Amino acid sequence: MSADRRPVLVLVGPPGAGKTTVGRVLARRLEVGFTDVDELIVARAGKAIADMFLEDGEDAFRALEREVVAEALTTVDGVLALGGGSVLAPDTRERLRGHRVVHLSVGLADGIRRTGMSTARPLLAGVNPRATFKALLDARAPLYREVATAEVDTVRRSANQVARAVLVAIGELPSDTPEEPVDPADPLDRPTPHDGALLPNPTVAPGAGTSCQ
Protein backbone atom coordinates (compact mmCIF):
# COMPACT_ATOMS: atom_id res chain seq x y z
CA MET A 1 0.00 0.00 0.00
CA SER A 2 1.03 3.59 -0.55
CA ALA A 3 2.26 5.25 2.64
CA ASP A 4 0.50 8.52 1.82
CA ARG A 5 -3.02 7.17 2.03
CA ARG A 6 -5.37 8.45 4.69
CA PRO A 7 -8.99 7.66 5.60
CA VAL A 8 -11.72 9.77 4.04
CA LEU A 9 -13.54 9.46 7.37
CA VAL A 10 -12.76 8.10 10.84
CA LEU A 11 -15.51 6.99 13.22
CA VAL A 12 -15.04 7.04 16.99
CA GLY A 13 -17.45 6.39 19.83
CA PRO A 14 -18.35 4.06 22.68
CA PRO A 15 -19.46 0.45 22.40
CA GLY A 16 -23.02 0.30 21.14
CA ALA A 17 -22.74 3.43 18.98
CA GLY A 18 -22.91 1.35 15.80
CA LYS A 19 -19.51 2.29 14.37
CA THR A 20 -19.13 -0.90 12.33
CA THR A 21 -22.71 -1.03 11.06
CA VAL A 22 -22.88 2.67 10.22
CA GLY A 23 -19.34 2.59 8.84
CA ARG A 24 -20.31 -0.06 6.31
CA VAL A 25 -23.34 1.98 5.24
CA LEU A 26 -21.20 5.11 4.87
CA ALA A 27 -18.54 3.28 2.87
CA ARG A 28 -21.19 2.02 0.47
CA ARG A 29 -22.69 5.49 0.05
CA LEU A 30 -19.30 7.15 -0.40
CA GLU A 31 -18.19 4.33 -2.73
CA VAL A 32 -15.05 3.59 -0.74
CA GLY A 33 -13.79 0.67 1.31
CA PHE A 34 -14.49 0.04 4.99
CA THR A 35 -11.94 -0.98 7.62
CA ASP A 36 -12.60 -1.88 11.25
CA VAL A 37 -9.60 -1.59 13.56
CA ASP A 38 -10.93 -4.41 15.74
CA GLU A 39 -10.87 -6.73 12.71
CA LEU A 40 -7.28 -5.73 11.97
CA ILE A 41 -6.28 -6.43 15.57
CA VAL A 42 -7.93 -9.86 15.54
CA ALA A 43 -6.18 -10.73 12.27
CA ARG A 44 -2.82 -9.53 13.61
CA ALA A 45 -3.13 -11.34 16.95
CA GLY A 46 -4.82 -14.47 15.64
CA LYS A 47 -7.29 -14.50 18.50
CA ALA A 48 -10.50 -12.82 19.65
CA ILE A 49 -10.22 -9.53 21.52
CA ALA A 50 -11.86 -11.07 24.60
CA ASP A 51 -9.12 -13.73 24.59
CA MET A 52 -6.44 -11.06 24.30
CA PHE A 53 -7.76 -9.35 27.42
CA LEU A 54 -7.91 -12.67 29.28
CA GLU A 55 -4.62 -14.20 28.15
CA ASP A 56 -2.37 -11.20 27.52
CA GLY A 57 -3.91 -8.43 29.62
CA GLU A 58 -5.31 -5.03 28.71
CA ASP A 59 -1.91 -3.33 28.51
CA ALA A 60 -0.75 -5.73 25.79
CA PHE A 61 -4.00 -5.24 23.91
CA ARG A 62 -3.72 -1.44 24.10
CA ALA A 63 -0.14 -1.55 22.82
CA LEU A 64 -1.21 -3.58 19.80
CA GLU A 65 -4.23 -1.32 19.31
CA ARG A 66 -2.01 1.80 19.22
CA GLU A 67 0.26 0.15 16.66
CA VAL A 68 -2.62 -0.95 14.42
CA VAL A 69 -4.37 2.43 14.59
CA ALA A 70 -1.16 4.31 13.74
CA GLU A 71 -0.65 2.09 10.71
CA ALA A 72 -4.28 2.30 9.58
CA LEU A 73 -4.28 6.10 9.71
CA THR A 74 -1.55 6.14 7.04
CA THR A 75 -2.58 3.17 4.88
CA VAL A 76 -6.41 3.10 4.84
CA ASP A 77 -8.13 5.33 2.32
CA GLY A 78 -11.81 4.59 2.99
CA VAL A 79 -13.99 4.73 6.11
CA LEU A 80 -12.13 3.65 9.25
CA ALA A 81 -13.86 2.64 12.50
CA LEU A 82 -11.74 2.76 15.65
CA GLY A 83 -12.31 0.60 18.71
CA GLY A 84 -14.17 2.18 21.61
CA GLY A 85 -11.02 2.59 23.69
CA SER A 86 -8.62 3.72 20.97
CA VAL A 87 -8.89 7.36 22.04
CA LEU A 88 -7.51 6.56 25.49
CA ALA A 89 -3.99 6.76 24.06
CA PRO A 90 -2.65 10.35 23.90
CA ASP A 91 -0.51 9.53 20.86
CA THR A 92 -3.56 8.18 19.02
CA ARG A 93 -5.49 11.37 19.80
CA GLU A 94 -2.55 13.38 18.46
CA ARG A 95 -2.45 11.29 15.27
CA LEU A 96 -6.14 12.00 14.69
CA ARG A 97 -5.47 15.72 14.35
CA GLY A 98 -6.06 16.79 10.77
CA HIS A 99 -8.33 13.84 10.03
CA ARG A 100 -12.06 14.10 9.44
CA VAL A 101 -13.37 12.39 12.58
CA VAL A 102 -17.01 11.82 13.52
CA HIS A 103 -18.02 10.94 17.06
CA LEU A 104 -21.06 8.63 17.11
CA SER A 105 -22.58 9.26 20.53
CA VAL A 106 -24.96 7.00 22.43
CA GLY A 107 -26.80 7.42 25.72
CA LEU A 108 -26.56 5.03 28.63
CA ALA A 109 -29.91 3.32 28.00
CA ASP A 110 -29.33 2.78 24.28
CA GLY A 111 -25.75 1.69 24.84
CA ILE A 112 -26.85 -0.90 27.38
CA ARG A 113 -29.55 -2.23 25.05
CA ARG A 114 -27.23 -2.43 22.09
CA THR A 115 -24.33 -4.08 23.88
CA GLY A 116 -26.68 -6.35 25.81
CA MET A 117 -24.24 -6.08 28.75
CA SER A 118 -22.51 -9.09 27.21
CA THR A 119 -19.93 -10.82 29.38
CA ALA A 120 -18.01 -11.46 26.13
CA ARG A 121 -17.06 -7.79 26.33
CA PRO A 122 -14.01 -7.68 28.66
CA LEU A 123 -14.73 -4.37 30.37
CA LEU A 124 -18.34 -5.35 31.09
CA ALA A 125 -17.51 -8.67 32.71
CA GLY A 126 -17.53 -7.35 36.26
CA VAL A 127 -20.11 -7.44 39.02
CA ASN A 128 -22.00 -4.33 37.91
CA PRO A 129 -21.68 -3.92 34.13
CA ARG A 130 -24.28 -1.12 34.04
CA ALA A 131 -22.22 1.03 36.41
CA THR A 132 -19.08 0.10 34.48
CA PHE A 133 -20.67 1.19 31.22
CA LYS A 134 -21.78 4.50 32.71
CA ALA A 135 -18.30 5.15 34.05
CA LEU A 136 -16.87 4.29 30.63
CA LEU A 137 -19.19 6.77 28.89
CA ASP A 138 -18.44 9.52 31.42
CA ALA A 139 -14.68 9.04 31.15
CA ARG A 140 -14.43 8.75 27.38
CA ALA A 141 -16.97 11.31 26.16
CA PRO A 142 -14.53 14.24 26.54
CA LEU A 143 -11.86 12.29 24.63
CA TYR A 144 -14.20 11.51 21.75
CA ARG A 145 -15.16 15.17 21.57
CA GLU A 146 -11.52 16.22 21.73
CA VAL A 147 -10.67 14.36 18.52
CA ALA A 148 -13.97 14.82 16.65
CA THR A 149 -14.67 17.34 13.92
CA ALA A 150 -18.39 16.47 14.13
CA GLU A 151 -20.69 14.61 16.52
CA VAL A 152 -23.80 12.64 15.55
CA ASP A 153 -26.32 11.32 18.06
CA THR A 154 -27.37 7.72 17.35
CA VAL A 155 -30.17 7.47 19.93
CA ARG A 156 -33.43 6.06 18.49
CA ARG A 157 -32.00 6.25 14.98
CA SER A 158 -31.58 3.49 12.41
CA ALA A 159 -28.19 2.83 10.83
CA ASN A 160 -29.37 4.48 7.62
CA GLN A 161 -30.58 7.55 9.53
CA VAL A 162 -27.27 7.83 11.38
CA ALA A 163 -25.32 7.47 8.13
CA ARG A 164 -27.39 10.24 6.53
CA ALA A 165 -26.79 12.50 9.54
CA VAL A 166 -23.04 11.84 9.29
CA LEU A 167 -23.01 12.76 5.59
CA VAL A 168 -24.84 16.01 6.38
CA ALA A 169 -22.47 16.75 9.28
CA ILE A 170 -19.35 16.37 7.11
CA GLY A 171 -20.82 18.31 4.20
CA GLU A 172 -21.19 15.40 1.81
CA LEU A 173 -24.97 15.80 1.69
CA PRO A 174 -27.02 19.03 1.77
CA SER A 175 -29.09 19.33 4.94
CA ASP A 176 -32.24 19.94 2.89
CA THR A 177 -31.93 16.65 0.98
CA PRO A 178 -35.26 14.79 1.29
CA GLU A 179 -35.32 11.84 3.66
CA GLU A 180 -35.16 8.47 1.92
CA PRO A 181 -38.24 6.23 2.07
CA VAL A 182 -38.13 3.78 4.97
CA ASP A 183 -38.14 0.11 4.00
CA PRO A 184 -39.71 -1.89 6.87
CA ALA A 185 -38.01 -5.03 5.56
CA ASP A 186 -34.53 -3.49 5.75
CA PRO A 187 -32.92 -3.99 9.19
CA LEU A 188 -30.76 -0.92 8.53
CA ASP A 189 -33.96 1.16 8.45
CA ARG A 190 -35.11 0.02 11.88
CA PRO A 191 -34.33 2.45 14.69
CA THR A 192 -33.48 1.19 18.14
CA PRO A 193 -36.91 1.12 19.82
CA HIS A 194 -37.57 2.39 23.31
CA ASP A 195 -37.88 -1.09 24.78
CA GLY A 196 -35.01 -2.80 23.26
CA ALA A 197 -33.47 -4.16 19.99
CA LEU A 198 -29.89 -3.98 18.92
CA LEU A 199 -28.72 -2.18 15.82
CA PRO A 200 -28.29 -4.80 13.08
CA ASN A 201 -24.94 -6.50 13.40
CA PRO A 202 -23.09 -6.99 10.09
CA THR A 203 -21.01 -10.07 9.45
CA VAL A 204 -17.48 -9.48 10.69
CA ALA A 205 -14.39 -11.57 11.19
CA PRO A 206 -14.64 -14.05 14.08
CA GLY A 207 -13.97 -12.31 17.36
CA ALA A 208 -14.04 -8.81 15.91
CA GLY A 209 -16.22 -6.25 17.56
CA THR A 210 -17.06 -8.55 20.47
CA SER A 211 -15.43 -6.60 23.24
CA CYS A 212 -16.48 -3.57 25.16
CA GLN A 213 -13.07 -1.98 24.90
- The whole-number average pLDDT for the span 77-93 is 96
What's this model's pTM, rounded to 2 decimal places? 0.83
Q: What is the CATH number of the domain that holds 79?
A: 3.40.50.300
Has residue 209 been placed in a domain? no
Q: How many structural domains does the chain have?
A: 1
Q: 178 or 35: which carries more pLDDT confidence?
A: 35
DSSP labels, 104-165: EE--HHHHHHHHTT-TTSGGG-SS-HHHHHHHHHHHHHHHHHHH-SEEEE-TT--HHHHHHH
Q: Residue 198 falls within a domain, yes or no?
A: no
50 in any annotated domain: yes
Q: Using one digit for the tens of pLDDT, what is the confidence trace for 124-170?
A: 555 566 788 888 899 999 999 999 999 999 988 899 999 999 999 99
pLDDT at 212: 52
